[in-house]
């Protein structure tokens, strides 16, 4: 069942985060530096929402987050995220050549900016490109506007480095007369240029 594939990454993320929270209960004392950027990359495990079998594939995701500086405390975590993802690996033999690429941008809000554990929510939109098997036909590629809400957490583990885990749900509007909804988890590492090291 699909939900069993989600248990391991979610359990690992919460276990990892809980260990660090137990280690230091005091809010981290760093202040925002001059470069309010976070960059990183991770590995994604996505359900393709393709056909009856609904296969899963693996891919690579990259993030660039820019936080809007000099915001009031309530809006301190507001920023813009640029995300690129290539779902192109561990392709099932029944879907040779199946690939999904997205380039998305949109608002992100990170809670508890000065804490070791920083949950976030985001809503991105942009362009999606899909290649799919179509034996004997010339139509095997399409592009669509893609919308992607997502939630996740950054857990600081050393200096300016954090582990990032997130869940994203995509809307590819009216592809093959209905919406396609790929979804999945990404786990990776991000580096925060704006957080002063300690």
The number of residues in the chain equals 198
What is the mean predicted confidence (pLDDT) over 74-85?
93
pLDDT digits (tens, 9 = 90+) for 143-154: 999 999 999 999
Tens-digit pLDDT profile for residues 86-136: 999 988 877 788 899 999 999 999 988 778 999 999 999 999 999 887 776
Report phi then psi at 6, rounded to 5: -85, -20
pLDDT digits 0-9 by tens, 23-65? 444 434 445 556 889 999 999 999 988 766 778 999 999 999 9
Q: Is the pLDDT of residue 18 over 50?
A: no
Map tokens 């891919």 to a residue.
59
User: What gap in Å lies between CA 185 and CA 106, rounded to an integer?
Assistant: 19
Q: What is the pTM of this model?
A: 0.77
Q: What is the pLDDT of residue 26?
A: 40
Q: Is the pLDDT of residue 84 over 70?
A: yes
Q: Provide the residue ranges of all domains of the chain, joining segments of one domain with +.
A: 4-24+35-192
- Quick one: pLDDT at residue 196? 55
Contact 151, 109 (CB under 8 A): no
Structural contact between residues 185 and 22, judged by C-beta atoms closer than 8 angstroms: no
Third-level CATH fold of 4-24+35-192: Porin (2.40.160)
CA distance 94 to 82: 32
**CB-based contacts of 121, cutoff 8 Å, min separation 6:** 108, 109, 149, 150, 151
Give me the residue label for tokens 């960059």: 39
Segment holding 87, helix H or strand E: strand 78-89
Which tokens is 90 given?
A: 């561990």
What digits encode the pLDDT tens for the residues 159-170?
A: 999 999 999 999
The per-residue pLDDT for 195 is 64
Assign residue 88 a region: left if phi > 0, alpha if psi is -120 to 50, beta otherwise?
Answer: alpha
């Amino acid at each position: 069942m699909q939900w069993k594939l989600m248990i391991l990454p979610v359990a690992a993320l919460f276990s990892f985060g809980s260990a660090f929270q137990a280690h230091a209960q005091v809010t981290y004392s760093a202040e925002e530096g001059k470069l309010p950027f976070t960059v990183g990359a991770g590995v994604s495990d996505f359900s393709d929402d393709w056909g009856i079998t609904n296969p899963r594939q693996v891919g690579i995701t990259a993030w660039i987050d820019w936080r809007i500086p000099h915001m009031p405390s309530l809006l301190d975590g507001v920023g813009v995220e640029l995300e690129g993802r290539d779902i192109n690996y561990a392709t099932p033999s029944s879907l040779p050549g199946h690939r999904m690429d997205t380039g998305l941008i949109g608002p992100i809000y990170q809670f508890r900016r000065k804490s070791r554990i920083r949950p976030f929510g985001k809503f991105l939109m942009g362009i999606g490109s899909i290649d799919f098997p179509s034996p004997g036909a010339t139509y095997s590629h399409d592009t669509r506007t893609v919308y992607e809400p997502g939630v996740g957490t950054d857990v600081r583990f050393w200096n300016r480095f954090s582990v990032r885990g997130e869940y994203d749900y995509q809307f590819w509007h009216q592809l093959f007369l209905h919406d396609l909804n790929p979804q999945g988890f990404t786990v990776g590492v991000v580096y925060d240029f704006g957080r002063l090291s300690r």
